[in-house]
């Protein structure tokens, strides 16, 4: 933070510019405010998850890429030639349009057929949702999502509501719901048996042609997918915070930042302290994150404020010369001092903005998705109103008549 009013004004001006730039830091912060507003409206979200469609081996994506540019016969021949994994990876990189179309198609269908706001779904009855789109290191798109359940406003008081012997039925209903939606189990033997036979990316289109056959094999296939994609494996990400631990004599911490492997839990139940523990029969199954971490992780920004200040300071130093040698024109012989000052200010702001908003690398898929008009967020809500809450509070505190703007019948009056 800074107390310099000039720096504050510069940062505000850059933010105003950033709100009009696609895929900017301000757009991410706008998503964060929308999530926070949904939390104020519905309470703490009940479910958080990440969807990362596989744009390398998914048969739908491969067919989309093949048929988008070729005739049917040529497309089928092309698909048969993609036997090696590196060829599929090359296709995913060389055809970003198919990846963008595939991603947004899958996400739209997911919300339409799995979330189904206002209806019974695999998650229960959902009243609202929010999803923030971002890219991974390879540039592929994925989305972090929050779901609010029907009656979600009472979620924050759930611990107090279940307290007491007379609430045993309510506690049991919550446990039954948790077990019906969430699972941290894995049939290790069944997974290993299928893994020995085929890859998780193998073609299973024959199962999809027969609904009864697919229903019979669903549990086995779901267990196979969970074993291949939902098991924690230690990586450099696990240990990146561990090397600095223990130097100050504090609490000793394991190498894995996620503290895996996790303790097994025999059954879903509330502890004596009111904490809900989900049944876990596999020590490396991925777990749930906390709401504050989720809110900021789903809308994480790659452009900290200090980088903006550093860029502005660097360009200010480079522009302190005279004349046009440093790129600052005076606007002609008849230009006034005010006009010259305004012109120099605008040019300085443009240089800073260009430096800030063009230095972040963008993936091909991200750019194509923007050019195709695809959104960077998924939500049921479509009308957003931004209020200056501090100003609103000031008016209500110092102008009592503001409380009478809405009469008992809910009709809004204007003055």
Tell me the average pLDDT across 116-144.
Answer: 87
Q: Token pair for residue 311?
A: 């860029």
- Residues 123 and 147 sit within 8 Å (Cβ to Cβ): yes
Tell me the average pLDDT across 61-65.
Answer: 82
Residue 295 — pLDDT band, cuts 50, 70, 90? low
Write the pLDDT tens digit of every residue in 134-148: 888 778 898 988 898
- Residues 220 and 194 sit within 8 Å (Cβ to Cβ): yes
pLDDT at 101: 92
The residues, ordered by sequence, that sit 6+ positions from 411 with a Cβ below 8 Å of its Cβ are: none
Domain ranges of the chain: 1-161+289-314+361-414
pLDDT at 320: 63
Residue 135: strand pairing partners: 141
pLDDT at 240: 66
345 upstream amide cis, omega within 30 of 0: no
Residue 302 — pLDDT band, cuts 50, 70, 90? low
Tell me the average pLDDT across 235-250.
Answer: 60
Write the pLDDT tens digit of every residue in 359-403: 777 888 888 998 999 988 888 887 777 665 555 455 555 445 444
% of the chain with per-residue pLDDT over 70:
72
Element (H, E) at 50: strand 47-51
Tell me the average pLDDT across 64-88.
Answer: 77
pLDDT at 239: 72
Whole-structure pTM over 0.85, yes or no?
A: no
Number of helices (H) and strands (E) in the chain: give both, helices first: 17, 7
| Range in 139-148, 289-298, 321-330 with the lowest mean pLDDT | 321-330
| Tally of residues, the chain | 415
Give one DSSP letter per residue of 66-123, joined into a string: HHHHS-HHHHHHHHHT--SHHHHHHHHHH-HHHHHHHHHHHHHHHIIIII-TTSEETT
Whole-number average pLDDT of the chain: 74
Most confident of 7-21, 101-115, 225-239, 299-313: 101-115
pLDDT at 412: 43
Residue 284 — pLDDT band, cuts 50, 70, 90? low
More confident residue, 320 or 264: 264
Could you tell me the CA-to-CA distances from 305 to 1, 81, 149, 165, 298 in Å, in that order? 9, 49, 35, 52, 19
Most confident of 38-47, 75-84, 109-118, 353-362: 109-118
pLDDT at 108: 92
- Residues 195 and 228 sit within 8 Å (Cβ to Cβ): yes
Residue 241 — pLDDT band, cuts 50, 70, 90? low
Write the pLDDT tens digit of every residue in 7-28: 777 777 777 777 777 777 778 8
Q: Count of CB atoms within 10 A of residue 312's CB? A: 21
Tell whether the model's pLDDT for residue 61 goes beyond 90: no
């Amino acid at each position: 933070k800074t107390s310099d009013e000039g720096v504050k004004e510069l940062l505000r001006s850059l933010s105003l510019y950033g709100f009009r730039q696609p895929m900017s830091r301000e757009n991410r912060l706008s998503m964060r405010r929308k999530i926070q507003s949904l939390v104020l409206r519905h309470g703490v979200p009940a479910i958080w998850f990440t969807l990362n469609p596989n744009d390398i081996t998914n048969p739908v994506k491969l067919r989309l890429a093949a048929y988008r540019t070729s005739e049917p016969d040529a497309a089928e021949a092309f698909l048969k030639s993609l036997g090696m994994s590196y060829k599929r990876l090359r296709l995913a990189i060389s055809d970003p349009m198919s990846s963008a179309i595939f991603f947004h198609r899958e996400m739209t269908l997911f919300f339409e057929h799995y979330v189904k706001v206002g209806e019974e779904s695999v998650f229960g009855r959902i009243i609202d949702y929010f999803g923030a789109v971002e890219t991974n290191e390879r540039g592929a798109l994925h989305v972090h999502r929050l779901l609010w359940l029907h009656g979600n406003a009472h979620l924050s008081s759930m611990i107090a509501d279940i307290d007491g012997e007379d609430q045993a039925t309510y506690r049991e209903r919550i446990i039954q719901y948790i077990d019906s939606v969430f699972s941290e189990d894995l049939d290790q033997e069944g997974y290993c048996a299928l893994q020995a036979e085929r890859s998780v990316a193998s073609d299973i289109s024959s199962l999809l042609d027969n609904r009864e056959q697919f229903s019979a094999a669903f549990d086995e296939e779901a267990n196979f997918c969970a074993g291949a994609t939902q098991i924690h494996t230690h990586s450099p990400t696990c240990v990146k915070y561990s090397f600095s631990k223990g130097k100050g004599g504090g609490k000793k911490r394991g190498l894995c930042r996620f503290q895996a492997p996790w303790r097994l839990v025999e059954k879903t139940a509330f502890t004596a302290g009111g904490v809900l523990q989900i049944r876990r029969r596999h020590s490396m199954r991925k777990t749930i994150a906390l709401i504050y971490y989720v809110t900021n992780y789903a809308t994480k920004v790659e452009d900290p404020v200090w980088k903006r200040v550093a860029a502005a300071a660097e360009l200010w130093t480079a522009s302190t010369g005279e004349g046009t040698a440093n790129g600052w024109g005076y606007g002609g012989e008849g230009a006034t001092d005010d006009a010259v000052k305004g012109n120099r200010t605008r040019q300085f702001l443009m240089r800073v903005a260009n430096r800030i908003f063009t230095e972040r690398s963008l993936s091909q898929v991200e750019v194509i998705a923007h050019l195709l008009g695809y959104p960077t967020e998924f939500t049921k809500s479509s009308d957003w109103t931004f209020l200056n809450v501090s100003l609103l509070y000031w008016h209500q505190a110092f102008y009592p008549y503001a409380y009478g703007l809405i009469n008992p019948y809910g009709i809004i009056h204007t003055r």
